[in-house]
């Protein structure tokens, strides 16, 4: 059989398997078909994915008894987020922007890891959400907590908005919206240098660095990594640094940080991608002391997820959320304004 198969990743947490079935396919139940096509798949996992509407045929969910046929297009969404057999509820404060029975929109502070993983077994956003949900529903089975789900995440030292689903069906719906690039995400970043253009678009694949595995890098040529598109617009110029907004069309790991480094404007104080040193300006003592003081005020990459918009999975109405710039970014921006004598119009 000569099906065309494509595997892609969006927002780090999901993969998509797409199969275009050729003309020689005999009618076969979708569950049996996928069992034979997905390595390591079990009947229970396939059935769960079908029940959760994470299996689409010709862009529509199907039942297990659907029989695939020639020229069908089959898409399977697979949650790739790190699984944990036990999520420990922890009483950690949450800044909740919006909540209903379907979704939870949280304004994450810088410094908080989103989910447990290597080196961060607890103290994460997911642990805090588990506590929050248990408080709402004391009878909730803790074994079900890992199913309340992440459909995207933001870096530990990036602040701002992210959405979590409170049911599996809602998680499936939101995952599809992220895949289809219909989710509105607007970030505010302070970057090094006076950007040449007032606005532009960066198109370059983003993938893991082939030598330094903790880093990601841009691949402008070739197919290595995942396609990534960032639209940017200058908000204010402060001679040595620029305040920009970035709108994500895709959501790859470290996408904004990598793309800005690619065009020579790393994020201010980004210790992974070269922004934690003087990139523009002199190295004279007075200026160096000023920059060091700025680093102390904002001791992480200056990046904030300010806006988030999507179609509500239950009401089917567009929803839009915004969050204030955090105090550390406000403080460092004000310091740069004063340093260059910037005057507001």
Residues annotated as catalytic are 155
252 within 8 A of 178, measured Cβ to Cβ: no
Secondary structure class of 265 (helix, strand, coil) = coil
List residues bridging with 237 in a β-sheet.
Answer: 242
Q: Which two tokens stand for residue 220?
A: 């402008």
DSSP letter, residue 197: S
Spell out a b/e string for 47-69, using b for 16 or more CB atoms within 10 Å of the CB, else e.
eebbebbbbbbeeeebeeebebe
Q: Which two tokens stand for residue 150?
A: 């992440």
Within 10 A of 156 (CB to CB), how many other CB atoms are there?
15
Residue of 179, 174, 147 lying closest to 162 (CA atoms):
174
Query: d(Cα 178, Cα 175) in Å, to the nearest integer?
Result: 5
Query: d(Cα 4, Cα 73) in Å, to the nearest integer?
Result: 10
Query: d(Cα 37, Cα 40) in Å, to the nearest integer?
Result: 9
Q: Which two tokens stand for residue 74?
A: 């089959």
278 within 8 A of 291, measured Cβ to Cβ: yes
Query: d(Cα 209, Cα 205) in Å, to the nearest integer?
Result: 12
């Amino acid at each position: 059989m000569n099906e065309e198969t494509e595997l892609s990743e969006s927002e780090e947490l999901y993969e998509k398997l797409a199969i275009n079935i050729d003309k020689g396919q005999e009618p076969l139940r979708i569950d049996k078909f996928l069992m034979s096509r997905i390595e390591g798949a079990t009947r229970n996992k396939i059935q769960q994915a079908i029940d959760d509407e994470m299996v689409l045929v010709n862009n529509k969910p199907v039942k297990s008894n659907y029989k695939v046929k020639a020229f069908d297009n089959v898409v399977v969404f697979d949650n790739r987020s790190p699984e944990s057999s036990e999520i420990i509820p922890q009483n950690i404060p949450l800044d909740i922007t919006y909540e209903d029975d379907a979704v939870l929109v949280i304004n994450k502070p810088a410094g908080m890891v989103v989910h447990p993983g290597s080196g961060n077994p607890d103290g994460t956003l997911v642990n805090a959400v588990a506590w929050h949900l248990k408080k709402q529903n004391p009878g909730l089975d803790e074994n079900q907590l890992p199913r309340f789900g992440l459909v995207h995440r933001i870096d530990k030292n990036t602040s701002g908005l992210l959405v979590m689903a409170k049911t599996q069906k809602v998680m499936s719906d939101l995952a599809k919206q992220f895949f289809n690039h219909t989710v509105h995400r607007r970030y505010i970043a302070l970057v090094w240098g006076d950007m040449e253009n007032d606005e532009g678009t960066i198109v370059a694949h983003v993938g893991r660095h082939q030598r330094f595995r903790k880093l990601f890098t841009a691949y402008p040529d070739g197919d290595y990594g995942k396609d990534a598109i960032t639209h940017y617009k200058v908000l204010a110029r402060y001679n040595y640094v620029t305040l920009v907004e970035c709108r994500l069309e895709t959501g790859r790991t470290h996408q904004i940080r990598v793309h800005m480094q690619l065009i020579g404007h790393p994020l201010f104080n980004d210790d992974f991608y070269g922004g934690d040193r003087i990139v523009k300006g002199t190295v004279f003592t007075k200026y160096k002391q000023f920059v060091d003081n700025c680093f102390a005020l904002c001791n992480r990459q200056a990046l904030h997820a300010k806006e988030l918009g999507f179609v509500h999975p239950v009401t089917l109405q567009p929803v839009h959320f915004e969050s204030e710039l955090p105090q550390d970014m406000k403080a460092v921006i004000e310091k740069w304004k004063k340093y260059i004598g910037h005057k507001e119009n």
